[in-house]
Each structure stands twice: as C-alpha cells, then as structure tokens.
C-alpha cells in the first residue's frame, strides 16, 4: 500500500461506550480542525437506524466537549450506518455499498479482541480489506501468547504496516513532550544515564475507584490495564536513545530496542494491592484477587541504564489523580559544605496530568553566615492540559498512514515479555484503605531508593 491517505472511515462498535465517550468527539474535531470530508460509516448490532445513531452522536458531544454547530452538521451529513451481526456476510455487503467509491478505507475496531479475527475475515470476504488500514484497540491480548496469536490472525488479512495498534496515551501532548524535552535541551540529555541518575519513579495515581467498570476491570487488573501499555511507554520515552532519521519508525525502533532490554519481572519485584470495598463493586467476582494497585521494580540491561532501578506504581482510590515521572539524580561523591543532604534533593519531575509541568529540584543557600541550604523546586513550564484530544490526533494520523504514535508488533510483544512471568496470582495481594498510597509493602519494595515521590495536586481530577 502507498502512503496515500484513507478515503473513508469505518468504526465498528458504533453504539458502544468508547464511541460515545471518545470517537464522536474525535470525529467532530477532525471535521472542525482538519476539514475532514470523507464518508464515515458506523457499524454495530443494536437494532438501530441512522437517525438513532445521529441522536447518539448529539448526546455524546453534548456531554463530552460540546457541540460545534457547523462541524456537527457536517459530521451528520457524512455519517452512515450499517446494523448487522459481525458473523453475517450480508453486514459486510452493506458496508461495501455504503463505502461507495472509496477504495482505501480505515477500519477502526472498537470491539472486543475476540471479534478481531471474525471482522477481519469478513472484511476480506466482503471486498473491504484490499488497500485498507485497520486500527485495533487495547488490550492487544492478555499475555504474550495471545498477543502473538492476535497478530497472526490480523496478518492473514492486513500487512503489518497497515495495522495500527492504538494506545491513546501515545496521543497525549504531555507524553510526546517527554521526548521533546529530553532531546531538544542539551542541559538535560547528557544527564540521562547511569553515571548521573540514581533512580526513576513513574506514578499513575487515580483518586477514584472502578466505578461502573467492575466486570471489565475484574478481567484485567492494574497490570494489564495501565502498566503493560501506558506506563511502559512512558518508561521508554524517558530512557530510549535518540532516534535517528525522520521516518515514522525512527522513534519506534528506539523504543523497541529499549523495551527489549528491560529485564522481565520476577515475583520479588512486584507488589500488588486491592482497595477495601473493591469486591462489593457490581460485576466484580466474590473473593476476587485482581489487583487495583501495583508497584514494580525494573532494570534496563543496557550500557546507558545498567544498575539504575526504575519504579512504577499505578493504582485506584489513591489520594490524588495525577500521573508524573521523577528522575532522581545522584548526589556529588562528597558534599562540599559538610551537610547531610537528602538523597532525593536533586531531581527532574515531569507531570503528564492533570496539568503539565516540568520542574527541577535544586539546593539553594539559606541567607546568613552559615553555608547551609534548603531544597527548592524550579518549575519551568506549566499549562492546562487542553491540547488536541488523543483520539482526534491518533485517528487523523491513522488516516494519513502516520504510524509513529501506534504500537508495532515487536513493541507489543516486548511489553508483554516484561510482565508475562508475573501475570495472574503469581504474587500475593495486600489490602489498602481508600485514600492511601497503597499497601505498605510498596514502601518496602522501593526500600533505600525511596521514598516514593508522592504527587501533590490541589484537587483530585480525573485524567
């Protein structure tokens, strides 16, 4: 397939929750911001008609970002709908008819992974797969073996370069800003290595619980939900080598090299937790041992990072909602002024949400005759996180064939390889009270490399 842009967009699961919360707002944004003017076909089995789908789109936009009247009206004019079973060949015959003259459609599978193979096969049989691109949602598999099997199924009908595995975290402006800040500033990049860095911490805290996602979450857990994908992508952005070249694979090549060098997790490098009250959430199995909190210690077996511990923790019902990374720098080999200085005195903090901030911790002298200091933080950049929504950016990139912000097969497999040894109930889980920073065993995991750098925000805000 050439790099020609897609000439239609099809989204399966058009009546589902993801379409309601993310896809309709993204489509309105593409129409408003990029002049999107191509057929948009929703596909689902709901017994609906086109007018009902349009009403759903209106309700979605009213509750998620607001309606831009001109863009919304244009979106409705572009919108088509096919109602049918994904196992029924007639559904895909109707889809081909709705696509009209379009020959390079983008198919977005906002459906369970168990249906990927069925839909891909029927797209091919219905004449909808030739020269097409396909976007698939996470989770891409439940472990390494299932991820490899999903890729094998998709490769029967689509070449790798036409498969776009979405991780919406990669579409966030603050996540992209990590790479830019590292490689655009000569005063930062020379310090990002084992000679200068003592440890790295990444925290994804959510001040809310599972809420109405009990059934889904109880099949996934924190490790599969956010660590295997989002957090490992942040780790890769913080630690990868500079990309060479300007093609779409330059960054992904470096991320793949980094993730393949990460040592797989072992039971003694993992602490799992579950907040009290989780088992009473509707949809959660009685006696569930699924984790709502996880903390891990990782190592990158490369020359740049050999011996530097990297700590990741993610959890629900924590004191705040915030995602940030902290790079702890080593202290000088000898304190010039004979002070007892905390090990975490020198650091760089990169906040991803709810706001955006880049800060550097430094030590300054306290006024007076004595040569003693105190720790301060210089915040160099701060803004509200009101950038282009991730799904708008990612769908636009997929339509153009720009794959940089999507996961490649080797990247996905490298991420699963890291977490595969400890999936399931390999390690015990510990209870923790809502509103705390997880079980105390997480503090024991970080040990002398701590303490954990607890994010501080004025108010818990959903990311």
Question: CA–CA distance from 64 to each of 18, 20, 37, 59 (Å)?
Answer: 12, 9, 22, 9
Q: What is the DSSP string of 59-98?
A: HHHHHTT---HHHHHHHHHHEEEEE--TT-HHHHHHHHHH
Catalytic residue among 155, 230, 340, 347: 230
- Residue 69 Cα distances to 4, 61, 393, angstroms: 30, 11, 21
Number of H helices, E strands in the chain: 15, 15
Please tell me whether residue 23 adopts helix, strand or coil conformation: helix
For 50-66, give one letter per residue: b (16+ CB within 10 A) or e: eeebbebbeebbeeeee
166 close to 6: Cβ distance less than 8 angstroms? no
The residue among 129, 27, 15 whose CA lies nearest residue 79 is 27
- From the list 258, 204, 203, the residue with the least C-alpha distance to 417 is 258
The residues, any chain, with a CB within 8 Å of residue 407's CB and separated by 6 or more, are 140, 165, 166, 167, 170, 229, 415
Q: What is the dihedral of CA 118, 121, 126, 127, to 10 degrees?
A: 140
Any catalytic annotation for residue 230? yes
What the block records as the tokens of 319 is: 């004191």
Token pair for 406: 């999507």
Q: In Å, what is the CA distance from 122 to each residue of 14, 28, 117?
A: 17, 29, 9
Active site amino acids: 230
């Amino acid at each position: 397939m050439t790099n020609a842009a897609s000439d239609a967009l099809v989204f399966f699961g058009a009546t589902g929750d993801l379409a309601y919360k993310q896809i309709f707002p993204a489509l309105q944004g593409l129409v408003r911001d990029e002049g999107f003017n191509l057929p948009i076909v929703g596909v689902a089995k709901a017994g609906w008609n086109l007018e009902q789908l349009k009403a759903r789109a209106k309700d979605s936009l009213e509750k998620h970002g607001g309606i831009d009247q001109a863009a919304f009206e244009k979106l409705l004019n572009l919108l088509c709908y096919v109602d049918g079973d994904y196992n029924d060949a007639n559904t895909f015959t109707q889809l081909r008819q709705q696509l009209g003259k379009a020959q390079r459609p983008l198919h977005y599978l906002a459906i369970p992974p168990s249906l990927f193979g069925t839909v891909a096969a029927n797209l091919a049989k219905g004449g909808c797969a030739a020269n097409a691109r396909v976007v698939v949602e996470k989770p891409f598999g439940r472990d390494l073996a299932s991820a490899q099997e999903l890729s094998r199924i998709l490769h029967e009908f689509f070449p790798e370069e036409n498969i776009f595995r979405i991780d919406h975290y990669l579409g966030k402006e603050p996540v992209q800003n990590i790479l830019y800040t590292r490689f655009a500033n000569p005063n930062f990049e020379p310090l990002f290595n084992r000679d200068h860095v003592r440890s790295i911490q990444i925290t994804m805290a959510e001040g809310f619980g599972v809420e109405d996602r009990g059934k889904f979450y109880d099949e996934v857990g924190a490790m599969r939900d956010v660590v295997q994908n989002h957090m490992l992508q942040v780790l890769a952005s913080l630690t990868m080598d500079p990309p060479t070249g300007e093609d779409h694979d330059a960054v992904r090549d470096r991320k793949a090299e980094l993730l393949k060098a990460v040592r797989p997790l072992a039971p003694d490098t993992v602490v799992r937790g579950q907040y009290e009250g989780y088992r009473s959430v509707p949809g959660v199995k009685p006696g569930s041992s699924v984790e709502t909190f996880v903390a891990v210690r990782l190592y990158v077996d490369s020359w740049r990072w050999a011996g530097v511990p990297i700590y990741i923790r993610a959890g629900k019902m924590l004191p705040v909602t915030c995602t940030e990374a902290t790079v702890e720098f080593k202290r000088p080999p000898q304190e010039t002024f004979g002070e007892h200085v905390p090990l975490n005195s020198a650091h760089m903090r990169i906040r991803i949400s709810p706001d955006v901030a880049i800060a550097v911790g430094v030590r300054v002298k306290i006024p007076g005759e004595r040569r003693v200091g105190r720790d301060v933080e210089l915040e160099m950049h701060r803004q509200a996180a009101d950038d282009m929504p991730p799904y708008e950016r990612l769908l636009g990139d997929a339509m153009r064939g720009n794959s940089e912000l999507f996961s490649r097969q080797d990247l996905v497999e490298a991420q699963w390889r890291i977490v595969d040894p400890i999936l399931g109930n390999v390690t015990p889980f510990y209870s923790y009270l809502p509103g705390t920073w997880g079980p105390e065993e997480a503090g024991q995991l970080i040990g002398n490399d701590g303490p954990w750098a607890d994010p501080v925000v004025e108010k818990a805000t959903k990311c």
